[in-house]
Structures are given as structure tokens and as C-alpha cells.
């Protein structure tokens, strides 16, 4: 997904059109929630991996130093589009694969 075309702010959407692929708005919300959660966890792992380089074992509560590069990395991730907005764009563009569980009617 190209994050450049994802809006950085919330826009109004017609849920009727958003629910068309699944046929049910509640299923659509679940698909979007799960994908947004995956994106958020992935970004959190990336951020933590980058910030580990700045970790210092000698730091105590009194010895907290501001690192310019660390602040820039954090600001970069703050400027990224929200995971829910990315998930909605992926869903609209047909980039998400999802499937529903089949229930046996013989139960």
C-alpha cells in the first residue's frame, strides 16, 4: 500500500458502498479492525526496533538525555497515516484478502 495516497485525516464515507464487498457492514468493520490492528502492531515493532539502538543500560530516572535522532524517528511515525485509514484504503482498493468461516447447517 502506498501511504502517500492515504488521507492523513478522517473523511466522511458512505457505509453503504464500504459494505458492498462483504454484504454486511459488521463484517466489514471486523475486517477493517483486524487489518488496522495488524498494521499498528507492525509499525510498533518497527519503531521499537529503531529505538532499541538508543537504549542505554546506564540511564536512570535522573539521567534522561534527549537524542535528536530519536525524536525525529518518533515524529516520523507520528506523521504516518493512522492504521484504520490505511486499512480502509486497502479495503477500497481490493488489496485485502479475507474469508469467512463456513458454519455447518447440520448441527
| 9 falls within a domain | no
| 28 falls within a domain | yes
| 36 falls within a domain | yes
Taking 90 as the threshold, does the pLDDT of residue 97 lie above it?
Answer: no
- Residue span of the structural domain in which 42 resides: 24-55+63-97
Which pLDDT does position 102 carry in this prediction? Answer: 75
Which pLDDT does position 74 carry in this prediction? Answer: 84
| 107 falls within a domain | no
| 104 falls within a domain | no
Residue with cell 484478502: 97
Asked if residues 73 and 50 have their Cβ atoms less than 8 Å apart, the reply is yes
pLDDT tens-digit series, residues 22-65: 889 999 999 999 999 999 999 999 988 888 877 765 555 544 56
Nearest to 34 by CA among 78, 80, 99: 99
Asked if residues 3 and 80 have their Cβ atoms less than 8 Å apart, the reply is yes
Number of domains in the chain: 1
Enclosing H/E stretch for 76: helix 68-79
| 38 falls within a domain | yes
| pTM attached to this predicted model | 0.75
| 3 falls within a domain | no
Mean pLDDT, the chain, rounded, equals: 82
25-52 and 68-79 helices, crossing angle to 10°: 170
| 13 falls within a domain | no
Amino acid at each position: 500500500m502506498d501511504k502517500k495516497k492515504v488521507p492523513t485525516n478522517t473523511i466522511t464515507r458512505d457505509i453503504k458502498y464500504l459494505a458492498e464487498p462483504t454484504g454486511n457492514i459488521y463484517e466489514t468493520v471486523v475486517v477493517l479492525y483486524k487489518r488496522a490492528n495488524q498494521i499498528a502492531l507492525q509499525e510498533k515493532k518497527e519503531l521499537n526496533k529503531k529505538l532499541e539502538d538508543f537504549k542505554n543500560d546506564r540511564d536512570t530516572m535522573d539521567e534522561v538525555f534527549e537524542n535528536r535522532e530519536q525524536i525525529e524517528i518518533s515524529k516520523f511515525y507520528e506523521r504516518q497515516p493512522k492504521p484504520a485509514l490505511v486499512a480502509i484504503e486497502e479495503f477500497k482498493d481490493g488489496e485485502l484478502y479475507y474469508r469467512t468461516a463456513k458454519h455447518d447447517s447440520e448441527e
